[in-house]
């Protein structure tokens, strides 16, 4: 059967994948099981770390999977982690064909297609590969780089100021923009903040709803710097716990967070930390909240990046612009260089 015959099933699998959580370090994966006529007999998706993978979830919904075709957004894994290898589950179930979109880039988890082929199962790779790769872009980037995806956030006036000359900064933006920040926190595994910001502002760094209630997922606060967090600081009461790095070595911090299963990091630590992350080339995405106001002065949202001439400017590609009340949220990523 031609690969294009599986396009509709793959799009359905992609819809299912989107139901899974973006946090937790695992990919969002969907699976559809088809019978010989191409009809859908079962569906599944991955609901987060430690839960059955999409293929196993779908297989659990049929009494007999022999002869079925499994259409999966990501190449079935071939390793044992918190759950067993999906390649072996598909082999044991007796499926006759596995169709997938994107190969698994992981050193430990890849190889599922080869294992299936060795077991005599027909393997059809690359169906809607571009669409699925775009959907999995962040996870695939994390897997390839071996470090979390880093979003740098700041709020500033239109002239780029993050605070007035006396240091006051609450509130530059309005309530709608501030609520979106909470939503972005909830979509992150960890929040990076500098020790200076902790000492100066005593932030809570929780993700909260419109009424101030805690949202279902809370990011892990991670404090960058040598100075300890005070015993009575709000971060000591954070529901996700607290990590004090004791260092400013951003590469080491991100590597250790990756080892902990952190896939997405939200940098919310003020100009000093934001500038350090950008200067080190570690920013994968920018979330810039702009308020229709002018402050002037020297308190810029981003400090010195070591740029001395316009040709060295860090060019960005704007991915979206959204109006939130009177404010704007500009999402951007580093411009790809050919």
Catalytic center residues = 55
Residues whose CB is less than 8 angstroms from the CB of residue 57 and which lie 6 or more positions away in sequence, other chains included: 31, 44, 45, 46, 47, 51
| C-alpha separations of 211 from 120, 179, 182, 215, 216 in Å | 56, 10, 12, 10, 14
Which among 282, 153, 274, 168 is positioned nearest to 219, based on CA atoms? 153
Residue 277 φ/ψ, nearest 5 degrees: -65, -45
């Amino acid at each position: 059967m031609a690969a294009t015959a599986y396009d509709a099933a793959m799009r359905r699998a992609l819809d299912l994948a989107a139901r899974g959580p973006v946090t937790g370090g695992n990919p969002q994966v969907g699976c559809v099981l088809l019978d010989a006529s191409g009809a859908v007999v079962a569906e599944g998706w991955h609901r987060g770390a430690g839960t059955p993978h999409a293929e196993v979830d779908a297989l659990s919904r049929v009494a007999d999977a022999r002869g079925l075709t499994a259409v999966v957004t990501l190449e079935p894994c071939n390793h044992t982690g918190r759950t067993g290898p999906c390649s072996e589950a598909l082999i044991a179930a007796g499926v006759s064909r596995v169709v997938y979109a994107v190969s698994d880039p992981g050193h430990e988890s890849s190889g599922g297609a080869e294992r299936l082929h060795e077991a005599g199962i027909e393997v059809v790779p690359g169906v809607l590969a571009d669409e699925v790769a775009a959907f999995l872009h962040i996870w695939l980037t994390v897997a390839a780089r071996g470090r979390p995806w880093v979003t740098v956030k700041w709020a500033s006036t239109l002239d780029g100021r993050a605070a007035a000359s006396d240091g006051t900064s609450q509130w530059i933006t309005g309530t709608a923009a501030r609520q979106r920040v909470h939503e972005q926190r909830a979509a992150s595994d960890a929040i990076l903040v500098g020790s200076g910001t902790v000492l100066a502002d005593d932030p809570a760094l929780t993700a909260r709803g419109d009424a101030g209630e805690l949202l279902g997922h809370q990011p892990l606060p991670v404090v960058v710097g040598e100075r300890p967090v005070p015993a009575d600081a709000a971060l000591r009461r954070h529901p996700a716990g607290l990590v004090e790095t004791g260092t400013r070595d951003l590469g080491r911090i991100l590597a250790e967070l990756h080892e902990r299963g952190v896939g997405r990091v939200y940098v919310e630590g003020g100009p000093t930390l934001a500038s350090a992350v950008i200067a080190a080339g570690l920013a994968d995405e920018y979330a810039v909240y702009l308020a229709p106001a002018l402050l002037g002065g020297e308190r810029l949202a981003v400090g010195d990046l070591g740029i001395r001439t316009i040709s060295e400017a860090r060019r960005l590609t704007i991915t979206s612009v959204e109006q939130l009340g009177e404010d704007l949220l500009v999402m951007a990523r580093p411009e790809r260089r050919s």
